[in-house]
Structures are given as C-alpha cells and as structure tokens.
A and B are shown apart, each in its own frame.
Chain A
C-alpha cells in the first residue's frame, strides 16, 4: 500500500511540476477572486464572519478547479488500466490522489492567504496565523477527501465537469460552515482569539467520518 501510494504521489507531483496545470490555475483563481471581492464589496477591509466567509468560499472554488484535473491523466492516458493491472490495493489510488490534492491546496494557500490579508483583511494576519493554519489543515483534509472521492466518481462520466462541483459543493457545506465559524474569531477586528474548539472538533470528526466512507467505497468506483 505504502509503496503504491508513494509511486502514485511521486508521479502526480512530478507531472504537476513539469506541466503546472493545477496549482497556478487554482492560485490565480483565488487571487483574482480576492481582487474582485476587493472592488465588488466596495469596502476597504473585511473582518470577522464576512472575512471568514469570503476566504473559505474562495478556497473551496479554487479546490474544485484542482479536483477537476485530479484524474484526467488516469482517464486520458490509460493510467487507470495501468494501475488496475498491478497487484496493489486499489485504495492506494484514493490515498495518493487525496494527498496530492491536499498538497496542492497547501501550496495555493501559501500564496492565496497572504494575498487575502493584503487585499481584503482589516486585522493583522500574523497574530492569528497559528490558529488559522490549524483550521486550514483540518479543512483542507476534508476538501481533499471529498474532492478525490467525487472526482473518482465523476471522471468516467461524460459530464464530469458539471457533476464534480454539483456533488462536491453540497458535501462540503459542513466543512465550509465549520471552517468559517472556526476562522471568524481569528479574523475579528477586536483582536484575534483562538479558534473555537467545538468547530475544530466538528472539522476533525467530519474528516474522519468522510475519510472512512471514502476509503470503504472508493474500490467500487474503479469497478468495471
């Protein structure tokens, strides 16, 4: 399992470094959206609930862009067949793809979150950063798991570009809700507070639950 996950992950990261198909598009989308919010909201700065909502909705849509590309090489270049012919646990494909999407999201956020702080955020971003990183990592895990599961489901359909976001967005409502609630106090004008433990726990429980479901059903998505 570990050997197969390593091979798949290495292959995906090498291909991304060579083509720059996903990460630049996701990053550009996020930064452009922040610019649009900056002008569209007609406010010099955001804080609290509104800032958290803008951040998470933007990151969610950026993730959907990356999700759509996740299995394209497998589908178009015979990667599914090559993988299915090997004597490895099929769930390795799910784990590797989820890790790849998680890594893409982290890289995007390294650029997008400072851009958000610069373009939209009123309060200073440095103080709440440790708490924000924790929320980002927990939410990214949920987004990566759901994104990979749905991408695997949609990739063999003709309308995959439509089906993937239509299924992903409702499934990620709990993640956006919990992440926004956990982020809002961090971005309050009155001064950053720690992220509420209740919402962090909800994020962690959601990640665990959806992770187990995805782990259990992904094998069947690869069936003929």
Chain B
C-alpha cells in the first residue's frame, strides 16, 4: 500500500487547458473532533474516472460533498475544474452533477415536476427533460409523485436530475445502488464511462469498481490507504478488514 500522504495521477492526457479536473493537496475535513478526510492528495485528469473504495465512515461521501462545494475543506487545497474551493465555489456550481444516497427529489412532486424545478434552477429547457425521461424509459411514470415510485425508479429520476444540465464532472455515491440490471443499462450512457464525463464515484464492489477506474483511492478513517492506477482487489479487500 502507498503511504497515507501519497499522491497519484490518473495515467491520462491532461485536459486542453492543462488543468486537471480534480486536484487535492492535503485536503482535510473534520466534523467537530472527528477527522473525516485526512490530508488526501490526488490529481484526476479530465474525462477520467476516480473510484473511491472504503468501509462505511471512511470519508467517501465527505470527499464527494467537498468536491460538490457542499462542504468546505478545513485544510489543504482543493481544485475542481480549475477553480479553488471554497473561494471559487460559485464557478463550480452548475458544472457538477451530484448523485448521492439522497435522490434530492421532492416526494410530493412528480418526476417531471422535479426535473422541471431543477431545470429552471440550471437554466435548462423542457426538451432536455423529455429527452432524459425517454432515454430512461420514465415517460409512463413521469407524472406520478415521486413518493409513489419504487427506489429503483427514483434512482433513475435522480440520475436524470444529476445530468440534466450536462455537467462535465459527475460525483456519484454508489450510483447503481437500488438499480436492477435493466435500469443500470438505461442510466449507464448518462453516468457511466461512456458518458465521456470526468467521474468520481464510490463503490463497495472491487471487481466492478476496478474495471472502470482510471485512478483508485482507498480510504480508511479518512486517510488514503491506497492510491494509484495499479491498486488491486487484494489491497481494496484489506481496507475492509
């Protein structure tokens, strides 16, 4: 395993402007006394996928929320799409698609109303909503309140919400949870590697996660226990023991 402060870069070409899509240097975030993210450093080039492994409470969701500008880093440097957080968070908002454990949908509104609400906030037209509903085969259920939909359908709506504004960076917290194989196939073009977007995703599935990773980060108690492009399943398994 690498040292706790090691830095690795996805072995890919940098984006046109030479800036990595995500760059952390000693990023630290605490909740009171508890350090949730402890001096993590990494660099992810545009169009590539970082897969984050780690047991519950390892800091995976905290990392995603810091990158999404929802949490401030308490120490270290965090740059997203060339903008330093939290000072330039305003420039990052609207360029990030976030799909977490919470679908960020209002239960009393229908799928279409929820997407329309987020579309208005992001300045996106209705035609994009219809396109996404069609691609994810949600049209027949689009006018039903979200609280009447199954968890899998809600996750499909949430995936549509996350990519509604066509963000260059996707932050995905176990994005395939609650999805059956058919649903995974439907959302894959939106949030999978074929979407062409830079992705940071968390996973508990070493085989599937490693297969789509350009860069792997293994977190335990907030620390980068494994980091690099050559991390194997055994190293990932050790994080959970």
For chain A, what secondary structure do more than half of its interface residues adopt (helix, strand, loop), or is it mixed? helix
Residue of A nearest to B121 (CB): A86
Known: A6-B120, A84-B69, A224-B71. A73 touches B106 (CB 8 A): yes
A77 to B122, CA, bound (A): 19
Indicate if the CB atoms of A11 and B106 lie closer than 8 Å.
yes
| A-contacting residues, B96-145, CB 8 Å | 96, 98, 100, 102-109, 113, 116-118, 120-123, 145
Cross-chain contact of B104 among A18, A79, A224 (Cβ < 8 A): A79
What range describes how many residues of B lie at the interface? 20 to 34
Q: Does A151 contact B (CB under 8 A)?
A: no
Cross-chain contact of B121 among A15, A19, A73, A88 (Cβ < 8 A): A88
Known: A14-B113, A81-B98, A88-B121. A19 touches B108 (CB 8 A): yes
A85 to B70, CA, bound (A): 8
Q: Does A83 contact B (CB under 8 A)?
A: yes
A86 to B95, CA, bound (A): 9
Q: Does B90 contact A (CB under 8 A)?
A: yes
B contact residues around A197 at 8 Å (CB): none
Indicate if the CB atoms of A77 and B105 lie closer than 8 Å.
yes
A79 to B71, CA, bound (A): 15
B contact residues around A87 at 8 Å (CB): 90, 93-94, 122-123
B contact residues around A224 at 8 Å (CB): 70-72
17 inter-chain pairs at a CB distance below 8 angstroms, sorted by A residue, are A4-B120, A4-B121, A7-B116, A10-B117, A11-B109, A18-B108, A73-B108, A77-B104, A78-B103, A78-B104, A79-B104, A79-B106, A84-B70, A84-B93, A85-B70, A85-B98, A86-B118
* A-B complex: 5 closest residue pairs judged by Cβ atoms: A87-B94, A7-B120, A86-B121, A78-B104, A82-B104
- Chain A positions near chain B (C-beta within 8 angstroms): 3-4, 6-8, 10-11, 14-15, 18-19, 73, 77-79, 81-88, 223-224
